[in-house]
Amino acid sequence: MLTFKTKLLSSLLLGIAFTTSAQNSTPVYLNVNKPIEERVENALSLMTTEEKVALCHAQSKFSSKGVARLGIPDVWSSDGSHGVSDEKLWDEWSSAQWANDSCTAFPALTALAATFNPEMASLFGKSIGEEARHREKTMLLGPGVNIYRSPLNGRNFEYMGEDPYLASRMVVPYIQGVQSCGVAACLKHFALNNQEISRGEINVNLSDRALHEIYLPAFKAAVQEGKAWSIMGAYNKFRGEHCCHNDLLLNRILKQDWNFDGVVVSDWGGVHNTDEAVNNGLDIEMGTYTNGLTTQGHFPFSSYYLANPFLKGIKDGKYDMAKLDDKARRILRLIFRTTMSANRPFGRFVSPEHSAAARKIAQEAIVLLKNDKNMLPIPVGKYKKIAVIGENASRSLVVGGGSTALKVAYEVTPLQGIMSKYGKEHVVYSMGYASGPSLYGAEAPSKLNADSLQKAAIEVAKSADLVIYVGGLNKNYYQDCESGDRKSLSLPFGEDKLITSIEQVNKNVVVVFSSGNAITMPWLDKTPAVVLSWYLGSEAGNALVDVLSGDVNPSGKLPFSFPKKLTDIGAHAFDKMCYPGDSVNVYYKEDILVGYRWLDTKKIEPLFPFGFGLSYTTFAYSKPAADKTEVATDGILKVSFVLTNSGKVDGAESAQLYISKQKSAVTRAAKELKAFKKVFLKAGESQTVTMAVPVSSFAYYNEAKYGWEVEPGNYTLLLGSSSRDVKGKVEVTVK
């Protein structure tokens, strides 16, 4: 790949004439002291129609052309919202087998959301941005903010949970962090990509209220507050048009209503028609004639819908040159913001700072779900023999999953972390179950004998002083994996039976499970301690033992609800047309009542509620007070309370503020999250906490007026440690 300087020198040696400014012999588009828009227009004026069209489609699996004649570099993208993917062959999904592209794996985005801490999102974005910058990437294909609608969705682990406000607050600093490194964050998948079943053709049907109140807010915040420089369309259809060229989503909402000035990139294989691609808001077409990761291209890039067919349509007068200029202008703007920016900092790769960041984020993400009789923490030396049981204790959890699969410089497994912390001489490991290899798009059961594995594990458990079970889902097909949804809410691979059998021979059991989704827990009543460890990346084992040992007090909170059974969730409370549809259409019959909104409104008891997470200490909330009892629709309410760490261990609590309006002209959820704040307190320390809430956030989307409306009347503000654990209430009136 030619460097920018090499291309520029080649252009100059060929005697190419450049337009120059009056004050400087440097072409305006190369003059980094000039405003970007001036540089864009100058470059555009020098380009041929063929060069403009060439910007708009792929030239390899992960790149599209710049303008070599003018020294304008290509656009290079990389998969991975929680790690920078390895280099691929030119037009293959296969690894190029480079020796210097092994990255740091950061926690998956469900884990990031569980921190309830925007500072961790900023740290995450800056760290992964530095890795992408070091690898000379123009664009990082992430983060994902599709809403967790069903606990069966295979890609939920890539997203930020079920609540649009939480996802909005976490995605903005992530994007700002990435882009501070001179790399474009590519927000995805816009929009309504909430299932993997029939993802390439399913047509999503839902109300305008659900669209604007639930499924678009995180995208909107990323664009308007985070100033995302690129966004990726989704595979599915919305109201009859594929989302990668959807007039309502891309032209009217994204580019017109939200004033998005960046680039719309297709998902790989998400383009289906030249007319719609030209007219309905797409800017760069990638991966055509591929279905995600399952097929290769093997046909000319010039045959793409936005390649020769687009060029021919321009020359024949079928397509307006203004359409082409708009696409080219956006792509040039992306390049000048990234690769050709004078302020682009240097990156760094697999650094100690990135390891520390990955570990810190992972520590704050881990959720303590149960801790009877203070089973946790586990001090060093308390138990002479610790049995570690479960495949996930030793299995790599950075491979598999589809496009998020990573080639990492290192990965500390839970077993390695436990042995390092408690001493190899005190730890014995038994696999317990086997899931088989990770294959994309196919199940491959293990060849190991399940009964023998389970029998051996039970024998190990019998003689141990403590059992740490490390299981859960993994990134195999039909688990947390792209291109296929889970088949049930239960743990796979016979794990429920295994856990139950272990508990029959040993009462000191800690269950640790990795997952990007909710699971059922038929063994919960007899299990003293349960820890949700997500997919934590390179520092997984270290972060886990930090929490298990008590070196770190757990502070993660659930970014989605755990139902007791699948039909307790709105998406599964109706018929199959609500999920997964008939492969042609799917109807979001639960409407705005997604996740805890459904459970709380319908008064269905969850297994664990949204926002839930225990600590090794306790927190006391004083009665909350608002700074005013009456407020205008354009006002701001400030709710204050005193939070006290009433226990004996330093720790952090994520306080949450919900609103409720019982008497409304429209259907409202029982409560909606509108603010949260993570507060770190030493044992015995108190702090006055204030959360500011714009009254405009009380609005619902008025379908008759095609806009937002704040209803006057009485509202209740609910302060809690989860959606179900309300600590205090404040009544206010909106005039």
List the domain boundaries for the chain: 45-104+114-337, 366-560, 561-616, 617-734
String of DSSP letters for 170-203: HHHHHHHHHHTTT-EEEEEEETT---STTTTTPE
Average pLDDT over residues 489-498: 98
- Higher pLDDT among residues 486 and 18, named by residue: 486
Reported as a pLDDT band with limits 50, 70 and 90, residue 25 is low
Question: What average pLDDT score do residues 32-47 get?
Answer: 96
Residue type, 58: A
Is CATH 3.40.50.2300 correct for 366-560? Answer: no
| Residue 11: other Cβ atoms inside 10 A | 18
Q: Helix, strand, coil: what percent of the chain each, to 5?
A: 30, 20, 50
**Whole-structure pTM value:** 0.95
> If you average pLDDT over residues 402-426, what whole number do you get?
97
DSSP codes of every residue in 60-106: ETTEE--BGGGTBPPEEEEE-SSSPPPPB-TT-SSB---SS--BPPP
Per-residue model confidence (pLDDT) at position 659 = 98
Assign domain 617-734 one CATH number from 3.40.350.10, 1.20.990.10, 2.60.40.10, 3.40.50.11440. Answer: 2.60.40.10
Of the given ranges (7-16, 264-273, 535-544, 696-705), which has the lowest mean pLDDT? 7-16
Please write down the HEC assignment for all residues of 396-447. Answer: CCCCCCCCCCCCECCCCCHHHHHHHHHCHHHEEEECCCCCCCCECCECCCCC
Please provide the CATH number assigned to the domain covering 45-104+114-337.
3.20.20.300
Q: How confident is the model at residue 273 (pLDDT cuts 50, 70, 90)?
A: very high
C-alpha radius of gyration, the chain, whole number: 26
CB 192 within 8 A of CB 146: yes
As a whole number of angstroms, the distance between CA 435 and CA 358 comes to 27
Average pLDDT over residues 686-698: 97
Residue appearing with tokens 């959606």: 723
Q: Taking every pair of C-alpha atoms in the chain, what is the biggest distance, in angstroms?
A: 85
Task: Determine the average pLDDT of the residues in 494-501.
Answer: 98
Region 202-211: what's the mean pLDDT? 98
* Helix/strand/coil for 308: helix
DSSP 8-state class, residue 243: G
pLDDT in tens, 61-88: 999 999 999 999 999 999 988 999 999 9
Give the model's confidence band at 419: pLDDT under 50 very low, under 70 low, under 90 confident, else very high: very high
Amino acid type, 492? P
Question: What is the band of 10 on the pLDDT scale with cuts at 50, 70, 90?
Answer: very low
pLDDT value, residue 15: 34
Cα distances (angstroms) measured from residue 634 to each of 184, 220, 714:
34, 20, 15
First to last CA, the chain: 62
Which DSSP string corresponds to 340-408? T-TTPPP---S-HHHHHHHHHHHHHH-EEEEEGGG-----TTS-S-EEEESGGGTS-SSS-SSTT---B
Secondary structure string (H, E, C) spanning 569-628: CHHHCCCCCCCCCCCCEEECCCCCCCCHHHHHHCCCCCCECCCCCECCCCEEECCCEECC
Nearest to 501 by CA among 513, 509, 491: 509
Q: Span 660-677, mean pLDDT?
A: 96
Element (H, E) at 335: helix 321-337
Give residue 2's pLDDT: 43
Would you say residue 14 has pLDDT above 90?
no
Please check whether residue 442 is in contact with residue 402, taking contact to mean a CB–CB distance below 8 angstroms. Answer: no
Residue 540, classed as helix, strand or coil, is helix
Indicate the pLDDT class of residue 4, thresholds 50, 70 and 90. Answer: very low
Number of H helices, E strands in the chain: 17, 28
Give the other-Cβ count within 10 Å of 728's Cβ: 15
The Cβ-side half-sphere exposure at 512, using a 13 Å CA radius, reads 29
Q: Phi, psi at residue 575, to the nearest 5°?
A: -110, -175
Report CA torsion sign: 191, 195, 196, 201. Answer: negative
Q: What does the pLDDT look like over 596-630, one tens digit per residue?
A: 999 999 999 999 999 999 999 999 999 999 999 99
| Residue pLDDT, tens place only, 375-393 | 999 999 999 999 999 999 9
* Alpha-carbon span 729 to 626, nearest angstrom: 10
**How far apart are alpha carbons 33 and 30 in whole angstroms?**
9
Q: Which two tokens stand for residue 626?
A: 């608002």
Nearest CA-CA partner of 717 in 626, 586, 614:
626
Pairing state of beta strands 63-64 and 58-60? Answer: antiparallel
pLDDT computed for residue 20 by the predictor? 47
Q: Which of 367, 209, 341 is nearest to 700 (CA)?
A: 209
- Return the pLDDT at 72: 98
Active site residues: 267
Q: 45-104+114-337 with 366-560: one CATH topology?
A: no
Average pLDDT, the chain: 95
Answer for the pair 535, 400: CB distance below 8 angstroms, yes or no.
Answer: no
Amino acid 291: pLDDT: 81
AA identity, residue 473 = L
Residue 158 pLDDT class (50, 70, 90 cuts): very high
| Cis peptide, bond prior to residue 57, ω within 30 of zero | no
Q: Calculate mean pLDDT across residues 239-249.
A: 98
Q: Are 377 and 456 in contact (CB under 8 A)?
A: no
**In the predicted model, what is the mean pLDDT of residues 566-581?**
98
